Amino acid sequence: MDKRFDRAVGIVGEHLEANCYSYSITRGYLRCYHLLEASLAEQSKQYSSNLAEQWLQSIANDICDSTLKTYMLALKKFDMAYHHEIIGDTRAKYEAQQNYWRLAPWCKAVLDSFLEEVRTEYDSRYLRLIRNAAARFLNYLTSRGGHGVESISHRLIADFYRDDEHDSYKSKDRYNNCICKFLRYLSDKGLILPSISLTLDKFVLPRLVFINDLTGSKRDAFTDLDTSSITAEEFHEKTLEMNAVLQQHRYSKSVQKEFHLVWSELFVFLEANSLAYSAVIALAWATHMRHYTIQWKSFRRAVMIFEQYRTGSNINPRKVYTYQPDRADALPVWCKDDYTAYIKLKEREGFSKSTLDMHRSSCLRLMEYLNTIDIGSWDEITPEALKEFHRQDPIPLRKARMHTPQKSGASWSIWET
């Protein structure tokens, strides 16, 4: 009787139990050892690595691939236990469950409460994955000096994503998806900021801006002089209201999804920097995205669509946004509101886009000219001022030249008969 064999089986069994291997895996390991022991007894030989390998090769054609893989792993652990009486710390996937047992007591209490709440939503295998992933994150939190879930911040999430290494991107994504479920639970309980659960995203994190890390003009761009603002959470709630508005105006599902992804990312930015929402801040953020993506104009478009809704309780899908400053913003106070009201009236009357553009251009040229000659109210406008505006206005002259009939030949005059 080989006592070392029995001792090795016991060591492996303790290892499997300590690391929460499933019952099916444990049973597969023990069956492997039973069959190997019977083969050695039949040959009246003691265990050796070569004999174990020969035995496995002899039965390989008679077992399925999954059983063969289980037996290979079982023999690898058995060999370490037989020769060294210890199983080294490896990166095998089941050993990730050790993270749970290393948790600080307060971490374990929070995680157990979460697992109890979602116990009926997932099968036992997926629950173990969620537990392992959340425990991995909580151990990182405590390693950074965290003493409670209130220590979880956007900066911590960004650092965790950077430092957390996996064998593959697929594995990293699976773990992060599970951690997000845990973070949403904490958010729903009011224990962390709502946007933190949206932060652990491989697309959001590379573009997450911390204003304090910026310097010079990049930082100055986020100086907000706009007093018209709402809290970041109010902004997030209003974006959720827009589902019905976008559907009403028949935006495609892909465009709706694109808008909501932008709004969620903006929400993360606002809360990460303790900012309220305003059009100035939002547009500065959207413009800053040009440093990260060539599609930054779609970010700006999403912000402008939201601004329509916030200021007017609806949106106008026909409105086209340019990426130059709006000339109307520079109009003097005495004429700006009347100009805006006039353009909105024309929009309600159903004029085409080209006609509306003509009205805007004409009105803006007139009011910009009046401002240059120091007119400060409608009452100060005189017939002479309007005649002088018409005389110097370049647009009608340019259009007249464009519509002048042309004739072949060296010269031609409108006076010729």
The first and second tokens of residue 280, run together, are 């100035």
The first and second tokens of residue 260, run together, are 């909501």
Q: Which residue has the higher pLDDT, 88 or 411?
A: 88
| Max mean pLDDT range (52-56, 263-267, 384-388) | 263-267
User: Is the separation of the CB atoms in 135 and 110 below 8 Å?
Assistant: no
User: Quick one: pLDDT band at residue 1, thresholds 50, 70, 90?
Assistant: low
Q: Over the chain, what is the mean pLDDT?
A: 85
The first and second tokens of residue 91, run together, are 């990166």
pLDDT at 225: 59
- Collapse the DSSP code of 164 into the 3-class scheme (helix H, G, I; strand E, B; otherwise coil) and give the result: coil
Q: Is the pLDDT of residue 9 over 90?
A: yes
User: Is the separation of the CB atoms in 81 and 8 below 8 Å?
Assistant: yes
pLDDT at 415: 37
| Max mean pLDDT range (7-21, 76-90, 127-141) | 127-141
Helix extents (H) in 19-122:
23-43, 49-59, 65-84, 98-101, 105-117
Q: Which residue has the higher pLDDT, 75 or 347?
A: 75
Q: Which residue has the higher pLDDT, 64 or 416?
A: 64
Q: What is the pLDDT of residues 221-279, one digit of tens each?
A: 887 656 668 999 999 999 998 888 888 888 889 989 999 999 999 999 999 999 999 98
Q: Is the pLDDT of residue 323 over 70?
A: no
CA distances for 410 relative to 140, 229, 406, 413, 417, angstroms = 84, 64, 11, 11, 16
pLDDT at 244: 87
Angstrom distance (rounded) from CA 196 to CA 201? 10
Q: Dump the DSSP string for 210-274.
A: -GGG--HHHHHTT-------B-HHHHHHHHHHHHHHHHHTT--HHHHHHHHHHHHHHHHHHHHTT
Beta carbons within 10 angstroms of residue 380's beta carbon: 12
- Which residues are registered as beta bridge partners of 230? 277
Q: Is the pLDDT of residue 216 over 60?
A: yes
pLDDT at 196: 96
Beta carbons within 10 angstroms of residue 264's beta carbon: 17
Q: Which residue has the tokens 């000219």?
A: 369
What residue ranges define each of the domains in the chain, with the CATH number in brackets?
A: 3-90 (1.10.150), 97-202 (1.10.150), 211-312 (no CATH), 327-402 (no CATH)
pLDDT at 203: 92
Mean pLDDT of 208-221: 88
User: Quick one: pLDDT band at residue 410, thresholds 50, 70, 90?
Assistant: very low
Q: How many residues does the chain have?
A: 417
Q: What is the pLDDT of residues 150-159, one digit of tens each?
A: 999 999 999 9
Q: What is the pLDDT of residues 77-116, one digit of tens each?
A: 998 888 888 776 554 444 566 788 889 999 999 999 999 9
Whether the predicted model's global pTM rises above the 0.85 cut: no
Angstrom distance (rounded) from CA 253 to CA 207? 24
pLDDT at 97: 61
Q: Is the pLDDT of residue 163 over 90?
A: yes
**Which strand (E) or helix (H) includes residue 122?**
none
CB < 8 Å & 24+ apart, contacts of 255-263: 258/298, 258/302, 259/302, 259/305, 259/306, 262/286, 262/298, 262/299, 262/302, 262/303, 263/235, 263/236, 263/239, 263/302, 263/306
HSE value, Cβ hemisphere, 13 Å, CA-based, for 292 = 15
- Collapse the DSSP code of 356 into the 3-class scheme (helix H, G, I; strand E, B; otherwise coil) and give the result: helix
Q: Is the pLDDT of residue 45 over 60?
A: yes
Q: What is the CA radius of gyration of the chain?
A: 35
Q: Is the pLDDT of residue 403 over 80?
A: no
